[in-house]
Structure 1
Amino acid sequence: MNFLTPLAFALAVLLPIIVALYFLKLRREEQHVSSTYLWRTLVRDMAANAPWQKLKPNLLLLLQLLFLIILILTLARPFVWGETVAGSHLILVVDTSASMGATDVTPNRLVAAIASARQLVDGLPSSARVTVIDAGAQVRVPVSSASDRGAALAALDALHPGTTGADFASALTLAAAIAAREPDSEIVILSDGHIALPENFTLPSRVQYISIGKENNNQAIGAFSLQTESGGRTLTAFVQAINFGSQEARRRLVLRADGQLLSARDLTLTPSKSQAITIPDLPANMRSFEATLEGQDALATDDNSWAVSPSSEKISVRIVSTGNRFLETALRLMPNVETTVYTPTSNLQSFDSAQDKLPTSNFQLTIFDSVISTGTLPTGDLFFIAPLRSTEFFSVTGRVDAPIATPVVADDPLLRYVDLRDVVIQDATRIALPIWGRAVMIDSKTNAPLLVIGEQDGRRIAILAFDLRRSDLPLRVAFPLLMANLLDALVPGGASGIPANVEPGKPLAITAPPQTTLITVRTPDGQSQTMTPTNGRVVFMQTNRLGVYEIASQDKLLGRFAVNLFNANESDIAPRGSLPIAASAPQSKIENQKSKTEWWQPLAWLALALLVIEWLYAYRGQVARVWNLGVGRLVKRNL
């Protein structure tokens, strides 16, 4: 409790004065006597009638002291720090990511955020409007500019923590657009601060950030994978356990397969460190595996992870080329790849599909090495190397001489363990970056894309802008690593085309076998969704539930995949007191903004009530007589 005018407490000196007056007050009891003449002399001779006699219980004194205490508190203007808004339009951006399920606040962070949001809504004037933005993996606006408080509160109560990170960039961009359309708006962000935003992200100046959460006590499984050993007879599990807390933690790692216990190990996890665990000699005939960290922490969502047995089938790759020993050798050295080389009849930069028909076999990936079909491109995923002509997927705009390959992002998964320093490239095709793709490598001089990857209409596509035979990349250790990473990205999941792991909330493109009319996906909770393939593919969107999914076609199992929360940003639950958001105001970070909520008005009403009670008690005799007189007249009038 704080006070705006603490000098008002100086009036507390009146309290002992009132008590002293009661000590000095003459205390005479009313008695009926025949005459007062003989009593006057006796009373006159008494010295102040013993003023300091023992103080007896007195309700009137108690009421007067309480009134003075409440009056002093009222004049001191007590207040508490809280969150409030000043605008007529409140925009609530509520974080519903996985970390908001942490239980370091009761019952969890999201419920605490909803309680704070409800308090803000209840404190708004009657004419104010409310917008609620659900900042999850998919941004939703359940209520927009609503004057109905009930609808806003119901939308808040319907929120629940997800299993993914939050798309805060989209959520705050939407909030800023709404605030710009309605100038008297204020944005309130309710989150634990674990959000990813672009650099120099800006918002209007009227922004509040309410930090949710208290502790960082959490351990998580950061990775879980299976590898085939002994020619496919056994499996080895690789598990990474991470302690995101600031204290040492003891947890038990339990591994099960198809519900059967296989291993249990006690772990001692060092603060802010990870620990790698290898579990060999696991049976290869099991369908799915589950790793669990037993014990208690603040976030249970990341204590479980799943993995599926690797597929033993090989990836079918078709190479359309006039001859490229480097490319063919790199692919044939991969144990899970089966390559077929097709050479056009004419040694040209392009060929006519009517004359040089591609084999009709169902290849998962087709690589065009410096040649492109002038007809319809084959089905499946595509990889273009040094294309000299535009296609339906990209446009060729010219040439780049002696480009210098530079990664766009230093830690791009496609460039894992790939060192591109000092790679010599004679020339490259200049390609306009397509809307469906992202640049992985660019020319540091012209910013022209050198490696592009993405997805269009359910097909994964990659473009390498330079000819491998006109660079020294194939002579470096980085080349087979780059090809392996590209193959994993273009054909995730190997021959089945089904990746072993899928991020929560991410769509999954599934290639249907020939003559397949229905694809059924069974989710971890036992529900099924049936889809009809279009152009040989279906896209499954409902990957928000953690666990193992099964994909089938006409009762034939096509494969399995696991959905896991391998997200360090969500598992590191330490709340952040500020957000890296540049505001229109001079401040560079949005921090917790507090406001004063005064409590003098209810205290003033309480003081007035005590004063009325004190007066009624002091004159209770007269009040009773007046009351009885009034009641008596009323009774007589009615009679």
Structure 2
Amino acid sequence: MTLPFFGPLALSGFAHAWYLLYLLVVFGLVAAYVVMQRRRHRRVLRFANMELLQRVAPAETRRRWRHVPAILLVISLATLAIALAAPTRDIRIPRNRAVVMLVIDVSESMVATDVPPNRLAAAKEAGKQFADELTPGISLGLVAFGGSATLLVSPTTNRTAMKNAIDGLAPEERTATGEGLFTALQAIASVDAVMGGGDTPAPAHIVLESDGAETIPRNPDEPRGAYTAARAAKDQKVAISTISFGTPDGVVNIDGQQIPVPVDDATLQQITDISGGQTFHAGNLDELKKAYSALQQQIGYETIRGDASQAWIRLGALLMAAAVGASVLTNQRVPV
């Protein structure tokens, strides 16, 4: 349950919701106050001189401020009743137990210069920034794939090793996206077997950056294809977020021939649709960095329910003090 408050008073639920029954007592006090005021008004009308009452009506109107202390008191009691129910709110905290595999395409199309100086060089820069910004407690691994896939870094919190491996990426022939994903899944399974700190496997996520369609195998639905790997990831509850990187105008020079290598969004979109995660498209280095930053915010933090009662207690006490102050200023008792 999310209630329409904001800041420290924002609520996501209650730890002891039955304490909200105390609000019935507050409503009872409000009803009693209204009844008493109506009876008082009837007594005044019964014995008052009407001509005199009309002359003093403006002064009586000003005395409506006498209700302010009672109103503040009621609101403070309602606030304190909410505090008794132990309200909670959503809090984002850095993850300290998770596995992320960065899977980078190093096929020959990644040397296209539509993204200066070329796609692969830009991918290296953005990948290292992602490693630097990712929550320190998360284990980060690296898989590179061209015609085959290689686990370059097993999941680790050593960001220096990760960045050194990214610096060493070099282009290869062909594109085996499925092999890259299967290699990442194997690395996740291996680290789950040795990672402690919980009764369940550590949350895992794969970030796939690529620019083109899979070429090995040609059909992504084959046993080692990308779509098959995405289905395996879904079965293992590992989301795959994808970044399609490049522009429709990319070309590479192979044996003196200019070969078009337009970015392929469709394959990566389908991988995400099957496994879950988010899909991004980046046509330049700045967009690539923004995609990685968005992923870092999603992957690097988790939302938990934290205690929000202190803010409600402080607000209730402040309103109670305001009720007392208003009673002094209006020469009234609390409540009248």
Normalising by structure 2, what TM-score?
0.44
Q: Which structure would you say has the larger RCO, counting Cα contacts within 8 Å and 6 or more residues apart?
A: 2
Between Structure 1 and Structure 2, whose CA radius of gyration is higher? 1
The normalised TM-score by structure 1 is 0.24
Which structure has greater strand proportion?
1
